[in-house]
Amino acid sequence: MCACAKGAAWEETLQFFTGMLQRQVLLGRSSFNAAIGAFEKAGEWEKALGLVAVMAQNRVNSDTITCTATICACTKGSEWEGSLQVFSEMIQSRIDIGTVTFSAAISACEKGSEWQKSLQLFSEMPLSKVESDAITYCAIISACEKGAEWEKALQLFNVALQSRGECGRIAYSAAISACEKGGEWQKAFQVLDAMLQSKVESDEIALNAAISACEKSAKWEKASLLFSVMEQSKVESSNITFSAVISAHEKGSEWKKALHILNMMARDTVESNLVSFNAALSACEKGGKWERALQLFSILLATNVECNAVTFGAAVAACGKCGEWENASHIFSVMAQSKVEYNTVNFNAVISACDTGGEWEQA
């Protein structure tokens, strides 16, 4: 059975283990560990926890291998509570806890968005005289990123760099994402720059996060620069990438560049989504290009993409700014037929369109 587990043949391991249980064969810890390891590989955290309970019933003591495999299974299932339960039992039973176990428990809390519990576990490592490794830092930085704790994420990232001299791609990406969530585009740039200068290859996640940071801060030139870096590095761009770049140009009132990026999506056979179209529509609205806005709006209606209040609002506003009250009214009526809930902004836009067009009676 152990040979099957080592060969990652978890299905055969479980089948063999089940047969032994049915025959009431007295099983030892190694057999249980092999079965729990198989459940961990299969992502069956509930069954892994169940086997730990069976071990206790049969008076078979758990060891580091047992508990670590169970915690890893819980991690894969984002079951942080089960992970911490096993971790606490290890402390009570005085079972040796190493780097791998700590990292798995921290990762479980990270996946469950429990960044404070991840930090608590991380702080216990020095007290337990357990060293952190690259996986530990990746997990704790990711936990802080998910908790929108960009300062803590960046602090831990710098500690990892100073203590280890290097960080993995996941740690870099998590640190950049944390800065992006905190609206710290300059710090996101600094981390990305460090990543590009190191031997760590940048990926879509890191670059997308940096572009989004620039987009949130209306730094369209920086976003455009990063987009060029992605193309030169041959990193594949997704609709998330394109949408962020278009949004950056929209915030910078660069409607021509926004439309150019939207056209590039079609060229690169990247599927456009509502976010990218809405951003391009808003860019045209800000640039006073109502005809372009209507053209995009017509394309959207012809696709399977479902429009929302932002879509209709941008199209109505584009027409409203130029006094195109008839087009604005038509879009508003289409909005009502589409059962999209309109708001004060939409009402004001169509009223403004009628007012600008001198059609006060329509307003």
Contact 314, 353 (CB under 8 A): no
What is the token pair recorded at 148? 């929108």
Average pLDDT over residues 279-293: 89
pLDDT of residue 350: 65
Residue 229 has pLDDT above 90, yes or no: no
Q: How confident is the model at residue 186 (pLDDT cuts 50, 70, 90)?
A: very high
Higher pLDDT: 328 or 150? It is 150
Q: What's the whole-number mean pLDDT along residues 312-331?
A: 78
Q: What is the mean pLDDT of the chain?
A: 83
For residue 273, the tally of other CB atoms under 10 A from its CB is 15
pLDDT at residue 95 in the model = 93
More confident call, 318 vs 215: 215
Report yes or no: 156 and 140 within 8 Å, Cβ to Cβ. Answer: yes
Average pLDDT over residues 94-105: 94
Nearest Cα residue to 189 out of 159, 161, 158, 212: 212
Report the interhelical angle of 274-286 vs 290-302 (nearest 10°).
Answer: 160
Section 42-67 average pLDDT:
87
Q: Which residue has the higher pLDDT, 312 or 21?
A: 312
Q: Write out 225-246 in H/E/C secondary structure.
A: HHHHHHHHCCCCCCHHHHHHHH
Q: What is the mean pLDDT of residues 177-181?
A: 91
Separation between Cα atoms, residue 68 and residue 274, nearest integer Å: 43
Going by pLDDT thresholds of 50, 70 and 90, the confidence category of residue 165 is low
Q: Kindly state the percentage of the chain with pLDDT values over 90.
A: 36
Q: Structure tokens of 273? A: 């989504």
Look at phi and psi of residue 200 and say left if phi exceeds 0, alpha if psi is from -120 to 50, else beta.
Answer: beta
Q: What is the pLDDT of residue 4?
A: 39
Tell me which amino acid residue 68 is: T
Would the pLDDT of 173 be above 50?
yes
Task: Supply the pLDDT for residue 2.
Answer: 39
Kindly state the average pLDDT of the residues 60-81. Answer: 91
pLDDT at 47: 85
* CA atoms of 227 and 286, how far apart (whole Å): 23
Q: What is the pLDDT of residues 295-309, one digit of tens each?
A: 888 888 888 778 888
Instruction: Give, to the nearest 10 degrees, the angle between helix 80-92 and helix 99-111.
Output: 150
